[in-house]
Structure 1
């Protein structure tokens, strides 16, 4: 069972990174693999498939909401990334940081501002 749990953690990290990185084909592949691994775990543990489906849908909605929020407010990525790292999710933390970097406007150097103001 440990191998299935490890596989699920790897797939979830890959799926989160693909979702946040804007790679839909990788998101779909990871989602299919997640369903397979979760199904195997559910069978082994006797867990209701409907409960799992709801949990996966909730996780998907949360990941999409976080990605949307980071796109609109890249400054929130730093505390979210720190929280993910604290929960041993470095791949998801890195994906958030990359997403924020892609949506952060370039900074104007201080010397350029002083020239404009002079």
Structure 2
């Protein structure tokens, strides 16, 4: 892929949501792996667990440092940003306007051409 996400500015308002999203994706992928064993569905790869763990480590390393520059290079960043619209939809109205805007800012910075649109309010 010629396009590449690099370093993104992440506010401390967005950080807990991105950490929660990474943790949820790790848990979701582990549950699929435990249920399916080595007979994976077509849209699943158990190695994705490790990809989300890498992103989680990056986020945890800068948590609490104010506005942070986070490395979204490669699969870990792509995967987390790809899961962000569904996370926002799941939270729906429970997201404050400030949290919604902070997550939208992260997504807009890193969305690759052809990415799904960010949910609207």
Q: Do they fold alike, i.e. is TM over 0.5? A: no
Larger radius of gyration: 1
Whichever structure has more helix as a proportion of its residues is 1
Whichever structure has more strand as a proportion of its residues is 2
**Which protein has greater RCO, CA pairs closer than 8 Å, 6+ apart?**
2
